[in-house]
Amino acid sequence: MSIVEQKLSSLTAAGQFDICAPGECIQVLSTAAHITYNRRAGGCGRMLKVLLNGYCSYDCAYCSIRVNRERLGFSPDEFAEAFLRLWHEDLVGGLFLSSGIPHDVDLVMHDLVETGEILRCRGYDGYLHLKILPGAARADIHDAARVADRISINLETTSSDRLGCIAGVKDYQQDILKRQAWVAEEKPEGHTTQLVIGAADETDAEILSCLAGQYRRVRPARVYFSAFRSLPGTPLAEHPDTPAWRARRCYQADYLLRDYGFTADELKASLDEDGFFENRDPKKVIAADMMPVNVNTATKWDLLRVPGIGPKAADRIIRLRKQRPFTGPADLARAGIRGQVAARHLTFGNRKETIQTKLVM
């Protein structure tokens, strides 16, 4: 294995802790580079997630890089050459490029942006995601947004107090939230962020409040969730791992906030008394306490609170019921809905009957 291949092997392995799509899986090529396979990962399917530098001067208690004693790294030209070779061989279709911070943040950000510029100048027209580092300069964020399809800065956790428990060097307000606001201005429809679930012992109630604030202030295209995994040699080596199902429940809640119009307060009704999700779909937990809604008269807002009905299905119901009322669970197939899931929370009186009932009442 060549020196470049050794670097790729080590720096792609270290880069897997950044998430670029829910449900991604990692496979290893003959080059020993770790490739992420997921059609939602920038739409390219085969994503090389890699660090430009594999060592870091920061003290994040959960991070694998802090225990990496190998001072491995690529120069922008060296990495561009290695990546373009993989791309021309059709082994990868996209790039997610991040970095440890071995020294000055500005120098590392310059290298990340320069790498992207070299790739574009040499004909790479595929998907490019550049990570914005905490404390990055506004000019570097502007340049990264210009060259990349997507940029992101990781929140890591829900608040300044929680970050102080796991990363003493970073300032949550200045290094992260202020930079995230710049990211949102430079790439309003093309930025994401990530939370490490459980590392700072935050509750799911705190996560919901954080997510609501995110969509209110900066509107990320996605929020990704990484279930905490303890690593030997880190301060959190003895900290319990976060179960994978908790991250899945956070994803479900995030969909409900972002795409279904739920509020954080609504979703908090699905939490236990300690402020955590149970291992159940939060939408189903909330729906269990709801009165059934009439499929032929319900608003889109009401339909979206029915398990088994999403935004597209709700729109189809509203369109199709104008042509012919829904008469029973079997009729839901017209709108592409699985009847058994949704029917428990629906009634099927027609519009005329419902109006007459309201008049009598």
Crossing angle of the two packed helices 204-217 and 244-259, in degrees rounded to 10: 30
User: What was the pLDDT predicted at 25?
Assistant: 42
Please answer whether residues 73 and 52 qualify as being in contact, where contact means their C-beta atoms are separated by less than 8 angstroms: yes
- What local confidence, expressed as pLDDT, does residue 36 receive? 65
- pLDDT value at residue 7: 84
Single-letter code of the amino acid located at 72: L
- Residue pair 101/64 in contact (Cβ under 8 Å)? The answer is no
With CA atoms as reference, report the closest residue to 158 among 184, 197, 216.
197
Mean pLDDT by 10 residues, the chain (361 residues): 81 72 49 59 74 89 72 93 94 93 94 99 97 98 98 97 94 98 97 97 98 98 94 92 97 97 97 97 96 96 97 96 94 88 89 41 37
**Sign of torsion over alpha carbons 49, 54, 57, 61:** positive
Question: What pLDDT is stored for residue 13 in this prediction?
Answer: 76
The rounded Cα 200 to chain-centroid distance in angstroms is 18
d(CA 329, CA 113): 55
Under 8 Å between Cβ of 226 and 196: yes
State the pLDDT at residue 150: 97
Beta carbons of 131 and 153 less than 8 angstroms apart: yes
